[in-house]
A and B are shown apart, each in its own frame.
Chain A
């Protein structure tokens, strides 16, 4: 049973991979908003958070991570996370990258799903596109 939910050949499956977190706030919002646009095109879209990626979906970090903007007035990452979640983008994490930061699933925001390395590779092989950041 694949992590992908669709069986409809007309629905494309796009997998984003986010490896950046708190140290690189300017690299955190883009995967969320590209995924949002992808989902708005009636595709099935997931973001897999690995390495520092899980920091993006850790409780409290949505408010803490501010996307910088030249001249000031940056936006909270939370805005982009909520926009993606609302349109049906799914968020996935793996155990080793949680361990890296001392996280458990309780530290993740609501809706985050746990998958392993085999499921990730299976998803990648089944996807129409895999996009890494």
Chain B
């Protein structure tokens, strides 16, 4: 049983292709306060490695990366 992560904001990037999910995530994270969590949904198959790299580079923690019904779901915590 995985813990439930409660998000403060949801960003749906379904149907968007590289680099839009990264660009939209970057913008959305700038609106959040430190410690808040963004739930990002994407369908771009490049999104999982991209979000991992984005998290590593920006220092915003990727709390969880999962797949649900063919969609990629990411939980990102603002640093």
Interface size on B, residues (CB 8 A): 12
Say what secondary structure dominates the interface of chain B.
helix
Q: How far is the CA of A81 from the CA of B54 in the complex (A)?
A: 22
- Counting chain A CB atoms within 10 Å of each CB, the highest count among B53, B54, B57 belongs to B57
Contact partners of B53 in chain A: CB under 8 A: 41
- Counting chain B CB atoms within 10 Å of each CB, the highest count among A10, A42, A83 belongs to A42
Residue A37 lies at the interface, judged by CB distance under 8 Å to chain B: yes
Residue B45 lies at the interface, judged by CB distance under 8 Å to chain A: no
| Closest residue of A by beta carbon distance from B59 | A10
| Closest residue of A by beta carbon distance from B60 | A42
Contact partners of B59 in chain A: CB under 8 A: 10
CB-based contact B22/A83 at 8 Å? no
CB-based contact B18/A41 at 8 Å? no
Contact partners of B35 in chain A: CB under 8 A: none
Q: How far is the CA of A108 from the CA of B39 in the complex (A)?
A: 40
* Distance in Å: Cβ of B39 to nearest Cβ of chain A: 18
Q: Which residues of A are interface residues toward B (Cβ below 8 A)?
A: 10, 12, 33-34, 36-37, 40-43, 83, 87
| 19 further interface pairs, Cβ-Cβ under 8 Å (given A42-B57, A83-B23) | A33-B19, A34-B19, A36-B19, A37-B18, A37-B22, A37-B50, A40-B19, A40-B22, A40-B23, A40-B25, A40-B54, A41-B22, A41-B53, A41-B57, A42-B26, A42-B58, A43-B57, A83-B19, A87-B23
For this complex, 8 residue pairs linking A to B, each with C-beta atoms less than 8 Å apart, are: A33-B19, A37-B50, A40-B25, A40-B54, A41-B26, A41-B58, A42-B26, A87-B26
